Copies of this chain bind each other. A is one copy, B any other.
Amino acid sequence: MSGRRGRRPGRSDTRSDILSAARDAFAEHGYDRATVRDIATRAGVDAAMVHHWFGTKERLFQAAVDVPFDPQELLLDGAPDDVARLGEHVVRTLLRAWDSPRGRVALALLRSATSSERAARMLREFVLARVVRPTVARSEPDPHRAAWRGALMASQLAGLVVVRYVLRVEPLAGAPAETVVGAVGPTIQGYLTGPLPGAVDEDARSAGNVEISTERHVAP
Protein backbone atom coordinates (compact mmCIF):
# COMPACT_ATOMS: atom_id res chain seq x y z
CA MET A 1 0.00 0.00 0.00
CA SER A 2 2.49 2.64 1.13
CA GLY A 3 4.87 1.52 -1.62
CA ARG A 4 2.48 2.80 -4.27
CA ARG A 5 2.18 6.27 -2.75
CA GLY A 6 5.48 7.63 -4.03
CA ARG A 7 5.12 6.38 -7.59
CA ARG A 8 3.78 8.57 -10.34
CA PRO A 9 1.73 6.96 -13.11
CA GLY A 10 3.90 5.80 -16.02
CA ARG A 11 6.95 5.07 -13.89
CA SER A 12 6.16 1.39 -13.52
CA ASP A 13 5.86 1.20 -17.31
CA THR A 14 9.39 2.54 -17.59
CA ARG A 15 10.56 -0.10 -15.16
CA SER A 16 8.92 -2.93 -17.09
CA ASP A 17 10.23 -1.50 -20.38
CA ILE A 18 13.74 -1.63 -18.95
CA LEU A 19 13.27 -5.19 -17.71
CA SER A 20 11.95 -6.30 -21.09
CA ALA A 21 14.88 -4.63 -22.89
CA ALA A 22 17.29 -6.23 -20.42
CA ARG A 23 15.87 -9.71 -21.10
CA ASP A 24 16.36 -9.16 -24.84
CA ALA A 25 19.90 -7.83 -24.42
CA PHE A 26 21.05 -10.56 -22.01
CA ALA A 27 19.56 -13.29 -24.22
CA GLU A 28 21.16 -11.82 -27.33
CA HIS A 29 24.61 -10.85 -26.11
CA GLY A 30 25.01 -12.82 -22.90
CA TYR A 31 25.56 -11.39 -19.45
CA ASP A 32 29.12 -10.18 -19.96
CA ARG A 33 28.67 -8.39 -23.29
CA ALA A 34 25.27 -6.82 -22.65
CA THR A 35 25.67 -3.17 -21.58
CA VAL A 36 23.47 -0.89 -19.50
CA ARG A 37 23.82 1.72 -22.27
CA ASP A 38 22.44 -0.69 -24.87
CA ILE A 39 19.61 -1.75 -22.57
CA ALA A 40 18.71 1.89 -21.95
CA THR A 41 18.67 2.62 -25.70
CA ARG A 42 16.40 -0.39 -26.33
CA ALA A 43 14.04 0.78 -23.60
CA GLY A 44 14.07 4.35 -24.95
CA VAL A 45 15.41 5.81 -21.68
CA ASP A 46 18.61 7.34 -20.41
CA ALA A 47 21.28 5.04 -18.90
CA ALA A 48 21.00 7.09 -15.70
CA MET A 49 17.35 6.00 -15.47
CA VAL A 50 18.43 2.36 -15.56
CA HIS A 51 20.90 2.97 -12.74
CA HIS A 52 18.24 4.84 -10.81
CA TRP A 53 15.83 1.93 -10.99
CA PHE A 54 18.19 -0.99 -10.67
CA GLY A 55 21.61 0.12 -9.44
CA THR A 56 24.11 -2.28 -11.00
CA LYS A 57 23.99 -4.52 -14.07
CA GLU A 58 23.95 -7.53 -11.71
CA ARG A 59 20.88 -6.28 -9.88
CA LEU A 60 19.21 -5.53 -13.21
CA PHE A 61 19.92 -9.09 -14.33
CA GLN A 62 18.55 -10.54 -11.11
CA ALA A 63 15.38 -8.51 -11.52
CA ALA A 64 15.12 -9.52 -15.19
CA VAL A 65 15.30 -13.25 -14.45
CA ASP A 66 13.66 -12.90 -11.04
CA VAL A 67 16.57 -14.57 -9.24
CA PRO A 68 15.64 -14.71 -5.56
CA PHE A 69 19.24 -14.61 -4.31
CA ASP A 70 22.73 -13.77 -5.45
CA PRO A 71 24.48 -17.11 -6.01
CA GLN A 72 27.96 -15.63 -5.93
CA GLU A 73 27.32 -14.10 -2.53
CA LEU A 74 26.23 -17.51 -1.24
CA LEU A 75 29.18 -19.18 -2.90
CA LEU A 76 31.89 -16.95 -1.51
CA ASP A 77 30.31 -16.68 1.92
CA GLY A 78 32.46 -18.93 4.08
CA ALA A 79 34.51 -20.26 1.16
CA PRO A 80 37.54 -22.11 2.50
CA ASP A 81 40.99 -20.61 1.95
CA ASP A 82 42.10 -24.19 1.32
CA VAL A 83 41.48 -24.80 -2.40
CA ALA A 84 41.44 -28.55 -1.70
CA ARG A 85 38.12 -28.10 0.12
CA LEU A 86 36.49 -25.92 -2.56
CA GLY A 87 34.55 -28.83 -4.14
CA GLU A 88 32.58 -29.75 -1.05
CA HIS A 89 31.99 -26.06 -0.28
CA VAL A 90 30.42 -25.55 -3.72
CA VAL A 91 28.10 -28.54 -3.31
CA ARG A 92 27.16 -27.55 0.26
CA THR A 93 26.33 -23.99 -0.86
CA LEU A 94 24.26 -25.21 -3.79
CA LEU A 95 22.23 -27.55 -1.57
CA ARG A 96 21.73 -24.89 1.12
CA ALA A 97 20.17 -22.57 -1.48
CA TRP A 98 18.04 -25.24 -3.17
CA ASP A 99 16.87 -26.88 0.07
CA SER A 100 15.63 -23.49 1.32
CA PRO A 101 12.23 -22.00 0.37
CA ARG A 102 14.07 -19.94 -2.25
CA GLY A 103 14.75 -23.20 -4.06
CA ARG A 104 11.13 -23.34 -5.16
CA VAL A 105 11.50 -20.03 -6.96
CA ALA A 106 14.74 -21.23 -8.53
CA LEU A 107 12.98 -24.41 -9.66
CA ALA A 108 10.36 -22.36 -11.51
CA LEU A 109 13.18 -20.39 -13.15
CA LEU A 110 14.89 -23.62 -14.19
CA ARG A 111 11.71 -25.01 -15.69
CA SER A 112 11.24 -21.90 -17.82
CA ALA A 113 14.91 -22.06 -18.83
CA THR A 114 14.60 -25.56 -20.27
CA SER A 115 11.38 -24.82 -22.13
CA SER A 116 12.49 -21.50 -23.61
CA GLU A 117 15.65 -21.00 -25.65
CA ARG A 118 15.88 -17.34 -24.61
CA ALA A 119 15.53 -18.06 -20.89
CA ALA A 120 18.09 -20.87 -21.22
CA ARG A 121 20.66 -18.48 -22.68
CA MET A 122 20.04 -15.90 -19.96
CA LEU A 123 20.38 -18.51 -17.23
CA ARG A 124 23.54 -19.91 -18.79
CA GLU A 125 25.21 -16.51 -19.03
CA PHE A 126 24.29 -15.62 -15.48
CA VAL A 127 25.44 -18.88 -13.93
CA LEU A 128 28.69 -18.84 -15.88
CA ALA A 129 29.49 -15.22 -15.04
CA ARG A 130 28.38 -15.18 -11.42
CA VAL A 131 29.00 -18.72 -10.17
CA VAL A 132 31.20 -20.85 -12.39
CA ARG A 133 33.95 -18.48 -13.54
CA PRO A 134 34.62 -16.83 -10.14
CA THR A 135 34.87 -20.29 -8.54
CA VAL A 136 37.20 -21.76 -11.15
CA ALA A 137 39.36 -18.61 -11.09
CA ARG A 138 40.37 -19.50 -7.54
CA SER A 139 42.31 -22.56 -8.70
CA GLU A 140 42.99 -22.44 -12.47
CA PRO A 141 44.96 -19.60 -14.13
CA ASP A 142 44.94 -21.00 -17.71
CA PRO A 143 41.83 -19.66 -19.56
CA HIS A 144 41.30 -22.70 -21.80
CA ARG A 145 41.61 -25.19 -18.96
CA ALA A 146 39.47 -22.91 -16.76
CA ALA A 147 36.69 -23.01 -19.37
CA TRP A 148 36.85 -26.82 -19.37
CA ARG A 149 36.88 -27.03 -15.57
CA GLY A 150 33.93 -24.63 -15.39
CA ALA A 151 31.83 -26.52 -17.95
CA LEU A 152 32.55 -29.86 -16.27
CA MET A 153 31.72 -28.48 -12.82
CA ALA A 154 28.52 -26.95 -14.25
CA SER A 155 27.54 -30.32 -15.75
CA GLN A 156 27.75 -32.11 -12.39
CA LEU A 157 25.98 -29.30 -10.50
CA ALA A 158 23.22 -28.98 -13.11
CA GLY A 159 22.68 -32.74 -13.06
CA LEU A 160 22.56 -32.80 -9.28
CA VAL A 161 19.82 -30.14 -9.33
CA VAL A 162 17.88 -32.01 -12.03
CA VAL A 163 18.09 -35.40 -10.30
CA ARG A 164 17.52 -34.20 -6.71
CA TYR A 165 14.96 -31.43 -7.24
CA VAL A 166 13.32 -31.89 -10.67
CA LEU A 167 13.20 -35.66 -11.24
CA ARG A 168 13.47 -36.44 -7.51
CA VAL A 169 15.46 -39.65 -7.94
CA GLU A 170 16.04 -41.54 -4.68
CA PRO A 171 18.19 -41.83 -2.66
CA LEU A 172 19.65 -38.49 -3.88
CA ALA A 173 16.34 -36.64 -3.51
CA GLY A 174 15.75 -37.50 0.13
CA ALA A 175 19.30 -37.78 1.45
CA PRO A 176 20.67 -35.31 4.03
CA ALA A 177 22.71 -32.53 2.44
CA GLU A 178 25.97 -33.66 4.06
CA THR A 179 25.66 -37.16 2.59
CA VAL A 180 25.32 -35.60 -0.86
CA VAL A 181 28.28 -33.29 -0.14
CA GLY A 182 30.35 -36.38 0.68
CA ALA A 183 29.28 -38.17 -2.50
CA VAL A 184 29.47 -35.34 -5.05
CA GLY A 185 32.05 -33.01 -3.47
CA PRO A 186 35.02 -35.12 -4.65
CA THR A 187 33.76 -34.98 -8.26
CA ILE A 188 33.58 -31.17 -8.16
CA GLN A 189 37.00 -31.08 -6.51
CA GLY A 190 38.39 -33.27 -9.28
CA TYR A 191 36.99 -31.00 -11.97
CA LEU A 192 38.38 -27.91 -10.20
CA THR A 193 41.88 -29.09 -9.33
CA GLY A 194 42.40 -32.63 -10.63
CA PRO A 195 44.10 -33.76 -13.84
CA LEU A 196 42.34 -33.03 -17.14
CA PRO A 197 42.64 -35.52 -20.03
CA GLY A 198 45.30 -34.84 -22.66
CA ALA A 199 42.60 -34.29 -25.32
CA VAL A 200 41.59 -31.09 -23.52
CA ASP A 201 44.99 -29.58 -24.29
CA GLU A 202 44.85 -30.91 -27.86
CA ASP A 203 41.55 -29.08 -28.09
CA ALA A 204 43.29 -25.86 -27.00
CA ARG A 205 45.80 -26.19 -29.83
CA SER A 206 43.13 -26.81 -32.46
CA ALA A 207 41.08 -23.90 -31.10
CA GLY A 208 43.93 -21.72 -32.39
CA ASN A 209 42.75 -22.75 -35.85
CA VAL A 210 39.99 -20.22 -36.49
CA GLU A 211 38.16 -22.31 -39.09
CA ILE A 212 37.73 -25.31 -36.82
CA SER A 213 36.87 -23.09 -33.90
CA THR A 214 34.15 -21.22 -35.79
CA GLU A 215 32.57 -24.35 -37.20
CA ARG A 216 32.45 -25.94 -33.79
CA HIS A 217 30.90 -23.07 -31.94
CA VAL A 218 28.03 -22.27 -34.30
CA ALA A 219 24.68 -23.35 -32.86
CA PRO A 220 22.57 -25.57 -35.15
Contacts and interface: CB of A to CB of B under 8 A. Distances in A.
B158 A179 contact: no
A188 to B, nearest CB: 10
A209 to B, nearest CB: 13
Given A111-B114, A124-B168, A203-B175, A152 B184 contact: yes
B158 A183 contact: no
Contacts of A179: 197, 199-200, 202-203
Copies in the complex: 2
Considering residues A144, A154, A163, A198, which has the most beta carbons from chain B within 10 angstroms of its beta carbon? A163
A167 B158 contact: yes
Interface string A108-133: 00110111000011011000100000
Interface of A: 110-111, 113-115, 120-121, 123-124, 128, 144, 147-148, 150-152, 154-160, 162-164, 166-176, 178-179, 182-184, 186-187, 190, 196-200, 202-203, 207, 216-217, 219
23 contacts: A111-B115, A120-B167, A147-B171, A151-B172, A152-B184, A154-B159, A155-B162, A155-B164, A155-B172, A155-B184, A156-B156, A156-B159, A157-B159, A159-B159, A170-B217, A171-B207, A175-B203, A179-B202, A182-B197, A182-B198, A182-B199, A183-B199, A186-B190
